[in-house]
Structure 1
Amino acid sequence: MRIALDYAWSFQTLTLPNPCVGSLVLCDNTIIALQAHKKAGTPHAEVLACKEAFLYKITHDEVAKRVVLESCKKQGLNKDNTLSYLINTLQNMQNSKHIHEFITAYHSGIFHNCEFFVTLEPCNHYGKTPPCAELLKTIAPKRIIIAHEDSTPKASGGANTLAHIPITHGILRDEAHKLLFPFLQWQKKRSFTLFKIAHRLHGDYKNGIISNEDSRIFTHNMRCVADYIIISGATLRDDNPLLDTRFSLPFYQQDSINPKILILSKTMQEKDLKNYNIAHRNVSIIRSAREIPSSGFKIIEGGFAFLNSLLQDIETENAMPIDCIMGYIAPAFNLDEDIVHKAMIESNRNENKIQYTLAHTTTLTDFWLQKMSEIQTSKIIESNEMTANIIYYLFIK
């Protein structure tokens, strides 16, 4: 389950307004599939895990392959090379409904010795995708292990649908709850506000690029699903950022638009914007934290000075709080949590009554670069040539 949770964290916030979910398939003590939900409107983690596991079974398990091919023959699927047809067809499927229908038609009971680990109870409703619980019910694995129940009225009830299959509940539930935090906040108020910061081991965040290639791709992916990017007037004047999505994966760029940009400044005027790279974008100037929109996914980008100033303004003005502080640390020699705690001290200073707690840390090395190479992109990503960044998440208490 921890492997499924850690993998799902790689896509944190990218799935909003959906929850971040991971799924792993274990067969005879071998992991044959590891997947996560990646973007709202695309296949859920369980569906992608079924797809990967099915492909593994028919290419690595001779008994399973024979059973599936015999079933195909009985169903009248007569191809010159049925196995190649099955592999190529399923590999190219991106639509969740089509994957459901394909696996329902051809699974032939080959999942009988598989255990499915899922970080969230499988959904039980028809939305943009069919219910995952129905697919799991159809393929009837040996056991299903669920970390966290689904409490949303619309999607809950998956465990009831799967009542005929042995189910284990609550494995690493607390860790799964942390993974769900952005989604749960969204469910409460249709809003999630994230402050992104990048800094070095000693806390400095000025003078030069800090984020590595993976961090940049991840940030640009997040911008694709965000509604707003918010920066300070000082950041605009000092850095003149593009605030675009040029390094994101095409998967996230598809059907996305550049988020609106808000400049938080007490002195900047509209006429000043023409001097900056963002002049052609949808840009507005706001004067206080209370003017930050109350709905949508908002990414605030800046340094510790802006963060502390903003936290004080939020407290003074009784504005909507920042839900999450996400930081990149470079260079990442190791996951020294003392370094992360320095960031917590900055955000939890005595003058700020809003407090944050450490939810997750990991290292970004080449996770997103590998995905970029899979599509053979020719994008060149600016970098400080560091091999890794620590990434941490602080969630509001």
Structure 2
Amino acid sequence: MATATETDAMRRAVALSARALGATAPNPVVGCVILDASGAVAGEGWHQRAGGPHAEVNALFAAGQRARGGTALVTLEPCNHTGRTGPCARALIEAGIARVVYAVDDPGPVASGGAGTLRAAGVDVESGLLAQEAAAVNAAWLTFARLGRPYVRWKYAATLDGRIAAADGSSRWISSPESRADVHRLRAEADAVVVGSGTLLADDPHLAVRGIDGVTQPLRVVVDSRARITGAARVLDDAAPTLIAVAEDADTSHLPGVGIARLPCDKNGTGLDVPALLAELAGRGVRSVLLEGGPTLAGAFVEAGAVDTVTAYLAPALLGAGPAVLADAGITTIAQVLRLDVTDVARLGPDLRVTAVPTAPQES
């Protein structure tokens, strides 16, 4: 049974893991705290980037000889394989760690098994401490490990009557400066930001992170089946990498030097197949997607069962007409309604930020 000191240390490890959101793909975010034999904090660390030392190795380095006979608190089961770095289970054993407490089991076939290796070496192992908190931070990587596709957060800003723009198409600005700053935080935590051609043509968004130092810029993805984008679009600057997803037969001759992904169309032949798009992004190392597209693209993702979290910025305003938040999502009767569980509500300036997740797991 974990002690109060160990629980506090794990809570710190969870906070450390969150520091690397958006920077470790295709790897998970992981935090680690080392307690010495007396229970005092000896070292801490987190996995900062793919290819770099894992959290346990950074924490062990910080702890030095004080790690011997101590306890490691880790947010994910220590890895058991050699990739670009060595197995963390072996590093913990060689450092003389006597006890390992981790939050979440590794669900993958490649790196799992670390707990068994530790136990076989005589290390006391306990799992499940603050598992829910650790899993929430690591939702992107766990979603990929379990479903084989990136985690998708759909973000939108709307009035209280559910409009994302006025009847004449104007939309700047529905949400407050505080909400818009928070969107940049979400972008910084994502591996890719996705919009559709409608949003691109209407708003010419830039999609790069601004106002946050030291971030890894997400991949900017435009879903543009007919390649209507022009070379003057702001997403084609050098502020962040960009990928244009087009239909297999689209003419892209006007886009020399631009990253292009050719994908099959959906069943209606009007848009791109969402599972194919997510598979393409997964193959590029993307583990988390921030969907900023308009109602048509959002509807396609909802219909595909590919929305894991909804983040809505609700402005205290009314428009009465104009495009709604969500277009056709394949829901034709109340029995098919996609119900959500609200997990957080926060005030950002005059706006409300509501975060919710589907009540049933998304299996696509």
- TM superposition score normalised by structure 1: 0.58
Q: How far apart are residue 325 of structure 1 and its match? A: 2.3
Task: Tell me, yes or no, if the aligned pair for 2:195 and 2:294 is still in contact at 8 Å.
Answer: no
Of the three residues 12, 32, 47, the one matched with 1:37 is 47
> Could you tell me whether the CA contact under 8 Å between 2:39 and 2:70 is conserved in 1?
no
Query: Which of the residues 241, 261, 275 maps onto 2:222?
Result: 261
Matched length: 291
The CA distance in 2 between the partners of 1:38 and 1:278, in whole Å, is 27
Query: In the TM superposition, what is the alpha-carbon distance from 1:262 to its structure 2 partner?
Result: 1.7
Tell me the residue number matched to 2:261. none
Pair 1:4 & 2:13 matched: yes
> What is the identity, as a one-letter code, of the residue corresponding to 2:273?
R
State the partner residue of 1:301.
291
Aligned to 1:18: 27
Structure 1 residues 272, 289: closer, same or farther in 2, change over 3 A? closer
1:247: Cα distance to partner? 5.8
Question: Contact between 2:197 and 2:228, CA under 8 Å: does it hold in 1?
Answer: no
Give the corresponding residue for 1:92: none
More helix by share: 1
Asked if 1:114 is matched to 2:73, the reply is no
Matches within 5 A, 1:78-227: 107=64, 109-112=65-68, 114-163=70-119, 164-199=122-157, 206-208=171-173, 209-211=177-179, 213=181, 215-220=183-188, 222=190, 225-226=191-192
TM-score (norm 2): 0.62
> 1:144 Cα shift?
1.6
Cα 1:38–1:189 shift into 2, 3 Å: same
Q: Is the 8 A contact 1:230 1:263 kept in 2?
A: no
Match of 1:239 among 190, 203, 207: 203
3-state SS, counterpart of residue 230 of structure 2: helix
Q: Structure 1: which 5+ runs fail to align?
A: 55-106, 332-342, 365-383
CA distance, structure 1, for counterparts of residue 100 and residue 91 of structure 2: 13
The residue that corresponds to 1:371 in the other structure is none
Percent identity for Structure 1 against Structure 2: 22
Query: Is there any run of 5+ residues in structure 2 with no aligned partner, and where?
Result: 1-9, 165-170, 248-269, 316-324
Distance in 2 (CA, whole Å) between partners of 1:300 and 1:247 is: 18
Q: How far has the Cα of 1:127 moved from its partner? A: 0.4
Q: CA RMSD in A?
A: 4.2
* Residues 149 and 190 of structure 1, relative CA distance in 2, 3 Å threshold: closer
CA deviations 1:290-340 (Å, max 9, x no partner) are 2551412363533784576335xx53xxx4x32422527589xxxxxxxxx
